[in-house]
Structure 1
Amino acid sequence: MAVSANRLELLQIADAVAREKSIDRMIVIESMQDAIEKAAKTRYGAETNVRAEINPKTGELRLWRLLEVVEAVEEPGRQIELKYAKAKNDAAKLGDFLTEPLPPIEFGRIAAQSAKQVIVQKVRDAERDRMYEEYINRVGEIVNGTVKRVEYGNVIVDLGRGEAIIRRDELIPRELYRYGDRVRAYIYDVRREQRGPQIFLSRTHPQFMAKLFMQEVPEIYDGIITIRSIARDPGSRAKIAVTSSDSSIDPVGACVGMRGSRVQAVVAELQGEKIDIIPWTESIADLVVSALQPADVAKVVLDEQAERIEVVVPDEQLSLAIGRRGQNVRLASQLIGWDIDILTEAEESERRQKEFTERSALFMQALDVDEMVAQLLASEGFSSVEELAYIDASEIASIQGFDEETAAEIQQRASDYLAAIEKANDDERIKLGVLDELYEIPGLNAAMLVALGKEEIKSVEDFAGCAADDLVGWTERKDGETKRFEGTFKDFPVSREEAEEMILQARLKAGWITEADLAVADEATELEEGAPA
């Protein structure tokens, strides 16, 4: 059978649109069918259930209407009575649909315009879906594009098969782009929006630098060298920590390259951004020493619970350690993920002297001893009255000038002092209405119960409803800055694990869980830990 020119034209249009928009040919043909159905309804009536079909091989167009078989007709354009349906088809029954062929229609101007709008909309939707599906799987990749236009500082990039945007705050400072410029950027987000999928690019994202190094350093691409952490001040300076799984390969040297060729290629792409490459180590103390280079570090003190590091540097190294506008210490803090406090040796000495004076004064007041005895205790490293009360008496007796009798007296006075404080705290606890039952939870003392009472936690049931964060606090990291939120036990040396154990015991006492539940949970944990990686 010969194919008419009109039929050929339909298929040629479908093929051309599918190629141009990079979408499936059948989607275009289906959109044409929808358009013809809509146009046919203007000819036969909107209430008519019209169906159109274009043969994808021959281009032949068929039209028919569907009629539902019913007992009594309510919508003549969509329904047919059972007796008439049986006259057309003996096998017809209620609920079936009969088809009636319709003659081809001539498209008027309005019908043609309406059909065109349907096709354009369907094709646009298909194009958007194709673009979203393509780029959502490319998040985390580097793409190359051409600047199409610049709007209010935002750069619109033509990627060939779609448009993307680099927002002003995702551009390296002082970068200027004009129409037609080539640009390389990192895809960090793809979102469905009303106006179509939006592809967001960045040149300031830390992973942009990581991907650039991956392109320049084959050992990173092969997985021998791993980038453990990156901190950037875009366009100015960056720090990157790397580690190698092969002991024969120096990770820093491999990233720098022969005469700096590899790192210089990355620097050139990032508008001259200076890059410090340091070896990663699991020792936070060693890592902070490397991260603060080129400054020399004299001493490092870690506070693991607060994730805070105190670094002591020589007086003349202070400005170098901090960096211009605090850049060096800020990047080091971002790289490690801990807060860093920098002190000079003079400041640390002054602080130690102040702490020594405060401890001596505390011992004089609490133990009713003279200044010399108090200073002796402080100089031996005792930092609290509790330490003196519960340490082995021989430790105190071993101090020069002390004997066993003196040690026993000091411990008695320390115990009396602590008992008096405990009594005062217990009286306050009773005033606050905190119940005695909380003493049954191991680890809680009167001072802690006072702190709980001030937070309206007065029973085992109340305590069982707490989370570890409520008790020991938590930290949040945003925009490179760490913010610390204090918990109820901020003044007590309680670790997160100890807080979780206290809450668990409270939930047992409150009847929220049973020992059997704990046994099942422990067994599941053991199975997980024993499972092969």
Structure 2
Amino acid sequence: MQIDLKRVIETVGKEKNIDRQLLVGALREAVLTAARKHFGDCVFETRFNEETEEIELIRYRTVVADSDLNNTSKQIPASEALAMDESLQVGDEIGEQLPTEQLGRIAAQAAKQSIVQKVMEAEKEKVVREFRDKKHQIVVGQVRRFDKADIIVDLGPTEGVLPVREQIPGEKYKIRDKVIAFVVDVKKSTRGPQVMLSRAHPELLIRLFEQEVTEISEGIVVIQSAARDPGSRSKIAVYSTEPSIDPVGACVGIKGARVQAIVQELRGEKIDIIPYDRDPARFVCNALAPSEPSKVIVNERLHIMEVVVPDEHLSLAIGKRGQNVRLAAQLTGWKVDIRSESKMRELVQEYKNVIAQIPALGEMRAEILVNEGYKDPADISRMDPRSLMKLLRLTQEEAEQVIQGATDLAASQASSNLEENSEEDLDEFHLGEPILDEDVTESEEAEAAIDDIVAKTRPQPLLDPEKVDVKSVPVDRLRYWMQLRGVAEQIAAVIHTAGFTDFNSVASSNVDEIAYKTGLPVKLSGKLHAETAKIIGN
């Protein structure tokens, strides 16, 4: 077979924009396949001769004594080998070039199939590389067809998939409609490159601002973060690297032209442009706009902001179905708990009354601690004596007395709570079901509804209790936790998986922290805390 490789390379390489070495490799592989079919089970090698631009076929055989010859495909008799090269000896390997013309139609067909396959693979790889460079960027395409609720988008060299979960709710498309979307990921599949698109991703909002606002593309204005409720409302936090440039004004544009262009692209989604602040408390306050918080209590350890707002601003701060506070939490990365001023006054008084019971503390010092975010004796029992000395201007001995008093009071309260609920066992609570109190007033019910909305703004618990595998936990650890009254295997496995090592590690954590780590209901977490505190106290 005579292969006009130069013509093949020039034609296919030019038409398909395929690398020359890739085509040479495909032809070498095709000749190798054809040779094995034609000559049988031999040891072959193919080479590309740069001068003649032809594929050379080399067959390798081992020199054997004439009397030992039993496989002419892999062996050559010594008499024949010596005629070719007198220096050869039995056991040596000899390579001989075979004419490719003998391969004929078989090689030609194999070469054709191999080239077609390589071209297809190369085109797929080229598309993957191209769109990997566009990952996390915006692409523009046309609606080609629909796959149930998913939209298949024509992106030119390939197709993109816009799943229904990544579409803006209520958005409707027709065939050949223009689509602007964010590239979430690019994957290889048997059907070719798969480009996953999104119009609901917060990054789409960021990329649209980068396109629309010159100051952002030039690096003068920087987008810190973004949060979206697709199709309804979004928040974006910005700051300026130059004091003379107003970052919010730059994003809004003259008469709101810049932001309105983005609003139209997102089908009327309202956009709040928030000034970013390095102070987390101020940033959270800015993010809760248009409400105006009157006070913020920061809990660094649990990464929670307790925000107090005027009573008349409560619904504004929370937003419709909790939207405003939820977006603020996503934007800032903090768990946000909102309280009205009247409710906060009640809570503060409750906190003060409890903390004031600690020996040698008193009401004034209790008020200072509450204002600093300490809500119960358990919080104070974990304080570093030096921090307490500095905060209340105590001697080391006085600080240690206060901490010991707080520890004793926390254990006593936990024991009392346990006795009050002694008729209830821990395993009476079913994972995933809400725990409801029966006798509640309308105002308490309303407050509980608000609390429920606020709770949804917090990050998901670290664990899903129902998905914890009991079999993955050592038997001795299950038995350890099952010493607690009413704790069955599943809850024992959850406590262990959450990272608690012993009773003290649970007793020294507050109820919110236990609930966050385990995913268990708050009431159940409280019972765990009370039970372990009682054991430690004894």
Structure with the larger RCO, 1 or 2 (CA within 8 Å, 6+ apart): 2
Structure 1 residues 86 and 132, CA, compared in 2 at 3 Å: closer, same or farther? Answer: farther
What TM-score does the superposition give when structure 1 sets the normalisation length?
Answer: 0.66
Q: In the alignment, is the contact (CA less than 8 A) between 1:64 and 1:102 conserved in 2?
A: no
In the alignment, the residues of structure 2 paired with residue 341 and residue 233 of structure 1 have an alpha-carbon distance, to the nearest angstrom, of 19
Matched, 1:41 2:36: yes
CA distance in 1, matches of 2:108, 2:3: 16
1:26 to 17, 21, 26: 21
The partner residue of 1:317 within 310, 313, 326 is: 313
CA contact (8 A) 2:60 2:95 kept: yes
Alignment of 1:40-439 (within 5 A): 40-45=35-40, 47-51=41-45, 60=54, 62-69=56-63, 75-81=71-77, 84-90=80-86, 92=88, 96-102=93-99, 104-105=101-102, 107-108=104-105, 114-359=110-355, 362=357
The Cα of 1:73 is off from its aligned counterpart by 5.4
1:104 positional shift: 0.7
| Number of positions where the alignment pairs a residue of Structure 1 with one of Structure 2 | 415
Share of identical aligned residues, percent?
Answer: 38
What is the rounded CA distance, in whole Å, between the counterparts of 1:418 and 1:346 in structure 2?
27
Counterpart-to-counterpart distance in 2, 1:43 and 1:211: 58
Partner SS state of residue 347, structure 1: helix
Seen in structure 2, the aligned counterparts of structure 1 residues 163 and 422 have a Cα distance that, compared at 3 Å, is: closer
Q: Structure 1, residues 79-121: CA drift from partner, whole Å, max 9, x if none?
A: 335553342134556554412322514645x776555433332
C-alpha separation between the residues in 2 aligned to 1:160 and 1:377? 70
Instruction: Identify unmatched segments of 5+ residues in structure 1.
Output: 368-372, 398-407, 425-453, 457-466, 475-482, 492-533
Structure 2: how far apart are the matches of 1:41 and 1:396?
91
Deviations 1:374-398 (A, max 9, x none): 76875686986989x9989xx999x
CA distance in 2, matches of 1:423, 1:153: 56
Opposite residue 136 of structure 2, the aligned amino acid is G
Deviation per CA, 1:332-368: give whole Å up to 9, x if none: 00011011111111111121232234345x35xx68x
Q: Is the 8 A contact 1:52 1:63 kept in 2?
A: yes
Q: Look up the equivalent residue of 2:296 and give its one-letter code.
A: V
Asked if the contact 2:34/2:103 (under 8 Å) is kept, the reply is: no
Cα displacement (A) at 1:485? 1.4
Taking structure 1 as reference, are residues 148 and 112 closer, same or farther at Cα in structure 2, changes over 3 Å only? farther
Which residue is 1:17 aligned to? 12
**Cα offset for 1:173?**
1.7
Structure 1 residue 41, shift from structure 2 partner: 2.9
Structure 2 partner of 1:445: none
Which whole-Å CA distance do the structure 1 matches of 2:187 and 2:225 have between them? 27
Partners in 1 of 2:408 and 2:273 — Cα distance?
Answer: 56
The residue number in structure 2 matching 1:443 is none
Match of 2:420 in 1: none
Could you report, residue by residue, the CA deviation over 1:169-226 in whole angstroms, capped at 9, with x for unpaired residues?
2222222333322222222222334444322222222222111111111211111211
Q: Does 1:484 align with 2:479?
A: no
Contact 2:298 2:305 in 1 (8 A): yes
SS in structure 2 opposite 1:67?
strand
Q: What SS does the corresponding residue of 2:117 show, helix, strand or coil?
A: helix
* Structure 2 gaps, min length 5: 371-375, 413-479, 483-497, 510-514, 520-524, 527-538
Distance 1:293 1:376, change over 3 A: closer
How many angstroms apart in 1 are the aligned matches of 2:304 and 2:411?
Answer: 35
Q: Deviations over 1:53-101 (max 9, x none)?
A: 6767876565453335567656421333555334213455655441232
What is the Cα deviation at residue 130 of structure 1? 2.5
SS in 2 for 1:227: strand
- 2:185 counterpart SS class: strand
Q: What is the CA–CA distance in structure 1 between the aligned matches of 2:60 and 2:53, rounded to whole Å?
A: 22
Aligned equivalents of 1:340, 1:422: Cα separation in 2: 26
Give TM-score scaled by structure 2 length: 0.65
Query: Which whole-Å CA distance do the structure 2 matches of 1:54 and 1:354 have between them?
Result: 87
Residue in 1 aligned with 2:439? none
Computing the radius of gyration from Cα coordinates, the structure with the larger value is: 1
Distance 2:156 2:50 in 1: 29
Specify whether residues 268 and 12 from structure 1 end up closer, same or farther in structure 2 by C-alpha distance, changes over 3 A only.
farther
Q: How big is the alpha-carbon RMSD for the aligned residues of Structure 1 and Structure 2?
A: 4.4
- Tell me how far apart the structure 2 counterparts of residues 357 and 413 of structure 1 sit (CA, whole Å): 19
**Cα distance in structure 2, aligned partners of 1:420 and 1:328:** 41
Give the 3-state SS of the residue equivalent to 2:141 in structure 1.
strand
In structure 2, what residue type is equivalent to 1:170?
E
Segment of structure 1 superposing worse, 187-196 or 253-262 = 187-196
